[in-house]
Amino acid sequence: MTDILLPDRATTAAPPARRGDIGAVGLVLGGALSVQFGSAVAALLFPRTGVFGAVTLRLTISAVLLLVVCRPRLRGRDRGDWLAAGAFGLALAGMNSIFYQAIDRIPLGPAVTLEVLGPLALSVFTGRRAASWACAGVALAGVALLGQGGFDRLDPLGAGLALAAGATWAAYIVLSARVGARFQGADGLAVALTVAALVTLPPGLATTGTVLLDPSVLALGAVLAVMASGLPYTLELLALRRLPTATFAVLMSLGPAVAALAGYLVLGQELHATEVLAIALVIAASVGAVQVNAAAAARPGRR
């Protein structure tokens, strides 16, 4: 999972000459593939570490790697900085923990489809336009298809957890913008990941114990941390220097489709035709919402 539709990225659009850069599109798609296949790796870890163990491995290793690479400057920070970074860290911990609980119960593709409704709802409510509400209606149609038959195949608890993960994802987006405005570079993310690791470490150790220290488990945890955090964050950062925000967000909206592919290839999770259609509807709704907001922002008098 990565940050899409970030408010503070609206002013980072690339020059017109570079907007069609195919290489930058490849970077975004590479990041999306890394994230979703990383989630598939996490699902492979669940039988050995449990959900909390997998979350602990991802966040702890990611935090250590980012602290080593960034070496964040911590002196001179005020109370507001620490509160923002702490809240961001709690959102990270909640988002990852809840989402991993969801994909332990339902296939990866539908889980990401339900989760992406959180950022979509944020986009719709902040947009406050008729076209945005139409996009929300399309997304709800997709959810109705996923729930055909009362979510019997998906497991009601797993579907509910995926929706809750979407709510924490929306909170993550808002808090990410605030932290980005207070910290230089990735310093705020390094601090937030440290907070998230400290929050998830106790339940991870309590439920898994010394299994987390097994070399093969640690190796898979390192792969998970790199695929789900380190590599996609880097690829997205490079892409955002060459792509306008709206294009970036549209590409990130393809997450459910990439997740369905990862679930099929890595975990052998097949989807029914109605579920494929549902995923397509949610993707279309996300793309539409991004385009509506981008068009409104481009009107004269808007910044």
Say if CB 124 and CB 135 are below 8 A apart: yes
**Residue 246 pLDDT > 90:** no
Cα distances from 226 to residues 39, 58, 176, 215, 219, in angstroms, run 11, 8, 20, 16, 11
Question: Residue 13 gets which letter from DSSP?
Answer: P
The whole-number pLDDT of residue 303 equals: 41
User: And the tokens for 118?
Assistant: 């959180």
For the chain, give the mean pLDDT.
76
Residue-wise pLDDT for 19-50, tens only, equals: 445 677 777 788 888 888 888 888 888 888 88
Rounded to an integer, what distance in angstroms lies between the CA atom of residue 92 and that of residue 95?
5
For residue 136, pLDDT beyond 70:
no
pLDDT-based confidence at residue 9 (cuts at 50, 70, 90): very low
Give residue-wise pLDDT tens across range 141-151: 766 666 554 45
CB 74 within 8 A of CB 32: no
Contact 86, 253 (CB under 8 A): no
Taking the C-alpha atoms of residue 259 and residue 114, their distance in angstroms, rounded to an integer, is: 12
Tens of pLDDT, residues 34-92: 888 888 888 888 888 888 888 999 899 989 988 888 888 878 788 888 999 999 899 98
Token readout for 36 is 């979703």
pLDDT digits over 163-218, tens only? 999 888 888 878 877 887 888 777 888 888 899 999 999 988 888 878 888 898 88
